[in-house]
Structure 1
Amino acid sequence: MDSHLKGVLMALLAATLWGVSGTCGQFLFQERAMPVEWLMAVRMLTSGVLLLLVALLRKDSNVWVIWQDRRDRRGLLIFGIVGMLTVQYSYFAAIKHSNAATATILQFSAPVLIAVYLAVRYGKRLNALGYLAIFLAVLGTFLLVTHGNIRSLNISPLAFALGMASAVSLALYTLMPGRLLAKYSALSVIGWGLFIGGIGISLIRPPWDVEEIIWDGYTYANTVFVVLFGTLIPFYVYLKAVQLIGGQTASLLTSAEPLSATLIAVLWLGVSFQALDWVGALLIVSTVFLLSVSNVSKGHS
């Protein structure tokens, strides 16, 4: 198979698995009474340990070296709690209080927040495509949340707040580890970030506290999917895709994530997704492509 095609398929697979895992989370929260904190603890601790084991099997010395520098230790701890834990929790909490489709789409406004932050931080004006992306993100969010009626919300205020918090958290998660990723491998940084975040959330709901959860075959299957097929496997596959087709192309293909989350939520869980919801979703997802074209045009200029 051609390496470029292989990279495209791997990026699409990773995005699809991420989207489906959100829908599995919705099933666990709403149908099996599973607390968000419990799933986060199990997901982050297990995935963190497995990613670090993969790094060790690949003889990645960064797994331990990253702890030797005092500044890097502090940065890794902050990333694990403020970056990794916050983005994971806010996203799945938004799913619990709304649905996987809405939460995933709201989180997809993060690239616009990143673009605005970088423009302010470095004193660079956005070009026309950048401003268009902001407008479409706001309009898409408005349609998704209100269905065009400013006097009512299609989702609860808490769900909307959590959805936007997940977008802000994703922006922080993307920007925070930049210096660490420049020095150490992604497997080591993300693996430790997951493990540290898992320890943090375990202080609230430890993995051995399984009371109130309704356990059956579906509970076990969906939990395993979220942990392995929704975290470990897609992350590893996505890194391989980046190596084959580059970060920009791979990031564009992650647009399959909200699509897969929406389709599975509608077809499996019966989530109501009306015409204005689809319009809002497409407007928000389109901002990723606009910002990508904007970056390319800046590079040429």
Structure 2
Amino acid sequence: MSASVRIRGFTMVIVASILWGVSGTVAQSLMQHYQFQTDWLVAVRLLSSGVILLALSLLGQHRQNVWHLLRSGGDFVRLLIFSILGMLAVQYTFFAAIEAGNAATATLLQYLGPVFLVLYFIIRTRKLPSLAQVTALVLALGGTYFLITGGNPGKLTISAGALAWGLASALALAFYTVYPTLLLGRWGSTVVLGWSMLIGGVVLGLSTQTWTYTEMIWTLPSVLAVLFIILFGTLIPFYLYVDSLNYIRPTETSLLASAEPLSAVITAVFWLHVSFGLFEWIGCLCIIGTVFALSRHREKPKEVSLGVASDETRRGKLEKV
């Protein structure tokens, strides 16, 4: 593979990660300055993105998968489970963590998701953790400690609600990562994510009656911010991230995705003036370091590491998109 092709893949992942990170800060701005609520933002984001993804799927080569999935019996049940406990849960807990705290800490706490996966696979396989896994766990614990205490064990620098939602977001991300592997392999990423977004958005919208919310302040900046979250915080980075797997390895993609929490922290600090001291920065680097530590861990070829399929399975998924 030529260097120019690999550079293209690297660029796609970095841009996607930066957009994801910035979108969290944009959501925080909407909540703080324009009175937008988590329920409304998540429902609209999921519904809009789901409709667009399914529309694109209907224009693709495997358009029949859009409707066949709904008549698939067991896979449709799995789709419902993933839509609510995966897609909706990971989106809602993340935005709730932002509302209770800020985009920087919410993104960093969500990045503990792979650590929960490590613990899950250690318990499931009943194997001693590797040196890379132990290193990742130590970095995760240390990073979380510095992030939530600022180096002072007698004081929390974030609210208990922000911490709870952030950890819930990490758990939801772990489930979101490992559960839909079979669905993605059979039906393709665009179809599965499109339906899960649409179903999750409908469930949240109906349960909270988000159409009754009238407190939001609608101005040109707030309209542009909502459009940014839908397009540049969801659809565009999703396609860039998935397409990058055609050019670089999944392990490289995971490492480059570390740009997301960094971009979230930087934009939150310099745009929204979120307080971030030395110990918070140390915690940030420790949590990001878990991704690098886990990249040193190697599973057997037939096993799945951290819920991410092998290169062969990934290629099979991409061929169905």
2:202 matched to 1:199? yes
2:218 matched to 1:184? no
Cα distance in structure 2, aligned partners of 1:148 and 1:267: 22
8 Å CA contact 2:146, 2:279 repeated in 1: yes
Cα distance in structure 2, aligned partners of 1:210 and 1:224: 18
Aligned to 2:48: 46
2:125 matched to 1:122? yes
Structure 1 position 176, deviation (Å): 1.1
1:138-153 equivalences under 5 Å are 138-153=141-156
SS at match of 2:245: helix
Structure 1 position 124, deviation (Å): 2.5
Cα distance in structure 2, aligned partners of 1:16 and 1:57: 28
TM-score with structure 2 setting the length? 0.90
Q: Which one is further off, 256-265 or 121-130?
A: 121-130
Cα distance in structure 1, aligned partners of 2:193 and 2:167: 23
Paired residue total:
298
Q: Which amino acid aligns with 1:10?
A: M
Aligned to 2:217: 214
Q: Which amino acid aligns with 1:67?
A: L
CA RMSD of aligned residues (A): 1.3
2:119 matched to 1:105? no
Q: Deviations over 1:227-279 (max 9, x none)?
A: 11000110011110112112221111110000111111111111111111110
Aligned to 2:8: 6
8 Å CA contact 1:37, 1:204 repeated in 2: no
Q: Which amino acid aligns with 2:183?
A: L
Structure 1 position 207, deviation (Å): 5.0
8 Å CA contact 1:76, 1:189 repeated in 2: yes
Structure 1 position 125, deviation (Å): 2.1
Q: Which amino acid aligns with 2:50?
A: G
Cα distance in structure 2, aligned partners of 1:254 and 1:101: 15
Aligned to 2:32: 30
Cα distance in structure 2, aligned partners of 1:124 and 1:250: 27
Structure 1 position 138, deviation (Å): 0.6
TM-score with structure 1 setting the length? 0.96
8 Å CA contact 2:28, 2:99 repeated in 1: yes
2:164 matched to 1:161? yes
Cα distance in structure 1, aligned partners of 2:127 and 2:51: 40
Cα distance in structure 1, aligned partners of 2:150 and 2:118: 26
In the alignment, structure 2 segments of 5+ residues that lack a partner are 302-321
8 Å CA contact 2:69, 2:187 repeated in 1: yes
Structure 1 position 206, deviation (Å): 4.1
Structure 1 position 66, deviation (Å): 1.5
Cα distance in structure 2, aligned partners of 1:258 and 1:219: 23
8 Å CA contact 1:41, 1:205 repeated in 2: no
